[in-house]
Amino acid sequence: DIDHLNLRVQKELVGWLNWLKADIGFDGWRFDFAKGYSADVAKIYIDRSEPSFAVAEIWTSLAYGGDGKPNLNQDQHRQELVNWVDKVGGKGPATTFDFTTKGILNVAVEGELWRLRGTDGKAPGMIGWWPAKAVTFVDNHDTGSTQHMWPFPPDRVMQGYAYILTHPGTPCIFYDHFFDWGLKEEIDRLVSVRTRHGIHSESKLQIIEADADLYLAEIDGKVIVKLGPRYDVRNLIPGGFKVAAHGNDYAVW
């Protein structure tokens, strides 16, 4: 174990981070198992190494109901993520992985897309509260891959990417999905839509519909995304929008 409260440990780790930055060329940090030490300690490392980007892994359990599924209200879960960023410094480069969105999205794509509209009408994950500080993802090396600890439904992975690559937050693409699953071209199309229309971490999200079989949202008035098996949604799509990407139970205009 590392004693992060030990001043010598802090000094040596800060020196190592600055060496990685100055000599090797890294410009961002990922804080693994960030709930294992205080946000005050993470703040020391960030403040003294000044990365351009930092993201923390704060993986805690969602609130579940008697049916074994996540409760609709996950405010306590996303508040924990917000609190970490607040303590480290909300005006700095610190962000957190949006595990709240990951957990809700895992279940929503299995015929419960109504979950993607929170009780306040906004996105139910951290992106609904503080999208500029939320790093969204479908899977990572812990949840998916060989560890397979909390995997996204494999036949619906592209629905997950259609969501995070069109929505606010900073989306993160999983290496395995991009290089090993044969999804590179589909993911690339969604990335190009995001880039072309300037969708960013603080883009404005308007949820048009959120039913069991349909989720429809407009982002910045430029992009519309549909998840779910409901096919005919032409009456809900404003004039002038053309399909830019589509796949199994998703489409982007």
CB 136 within 8 A of CB 98: yes
Pick the catalytic residue from 12, 27, 32, 188: 32
Our answer to whether residue 32 is catalytic in this structure is yes
CB 95 within 8 A of CB 170: yes
* Contacts by 1-9, CB closer than 8 A, 24 or more apart: 4/37, 4/38, 4/41, 5/41
Q: Which two tokens stand for residue 54?
A: 């930092």
CB 227 within 8 A of CB 252: no
Our answer to whether residue 112 is catalytic in this structure is no
CB-based burial label for 155 (10 Å; 0-12, 13-18, 19+): exposed
- Helix axis angle, 39-49 to 7-19, nearest 10°: 40
Of 227, 108, 80, residue with least CA distance to 159: 227
Which residues are catalytically annotated? Answer: 32, 57
